[in-house]
Amino acid sequence: MCQSGFALSREIETKIRLGDPGPLRTRLRELGAARHTHVQETNRIFDTRDQRLLAGDCGLRIRESRPLDGGRPLQPTLTFKGPRDPGPLKSRAELETPVADAQTLADILQRLGFWEVIRYEKRRETWRLGDCEVCLDELPRLGWYVEIEGPGTEAVETTRGQLGLTALPALRETYVELAADRGDADPAGCRQLLFQR
């Protein structure tokens, strides 16, 4: 949820694993949803050497995005995510702000005692449907997922029903957890889940 300036919000979303994303794209168009962006993201997760943030169910991320349908790269963002609340949907505090230079920020974080522990890529289509944002995500080697994020549980569940996804189970795992579990370690120990070059 990127806004100008420093934004404090609550992330309220559900994530579902998909097979073929084609039927969902068709359904989104039938419902009058508009696709706003189609990007490839690089997500860099930072933590202390003892991984205090991840152990506390928190996250510190630098995200860079480049459009896949032309145009200039989007402004990088720095995001802090607090621990998840209990419940059927993922709900947590989120602080996010745009940054001018992702690599300089990464260097600053390292000098402050934070290290890149996970790096994962994702191809993301962002659609708007009513009060919700619907993201079709492709992760390397893991396939397709849909995230539905909205202002509250009712809006998210209503959108999930409109899209015909109520019979599919919601995932509790985050993309960070998937990348940590399924990624490959580089020589520095950073877990990486990247598209083939």
Predicted local confidence at residue 70, as pLDDT: 85
Q: Return the pLDDT at 4.
A: 34
The fraction of the chain above a pLDDT of 70, given in percent, is: 96
When pLDDT is averaged across residues 120-142 and rounded to a whole number, the result is 97
34-75 pLDDT, tens digit per residue, is 999 999 999 999 999 999 999 999 999 999 999 998 888 899
Q: Which domains does the chain possess?
A: 8-180 (2.40.320.10)
Contacts of residue 9, Cβ cutoff 8 Å, sequence gap at least 6? 1, 93, 94, 96
Mean pLDDT of the chain: 94
Percent of the chain with pLDDT over 90: 90
Helix (H) or strand (E) holding 130: none
pLDDT in tens, 102-114: 999 999 999 999 9
Long-range contacts of 56-62 (CB under 8 A, 24+ apart): 56/83, 57/82, 57/83, 57/84, 58/82, 58/83, 59/174, 59/176, 60/109, 60/114, 61/176, 62/99, 62/102, 62/105, 62/106, 62/109
Please check the confidence at residue 184 and state whether its pLDDT lies above 60.
yes
| 3 compared with 112, residue with greater pLDDT | 112
SS3 call for 30: helix
Residue 3: band (very low, low, confident or very high) from pLDDT cuts 50, 70, 90: very low
Q: Please, which residues have CB within 8 angstroms of residue 75's CB and are 6 or more apart in sequence?
A: 98, 99, 100
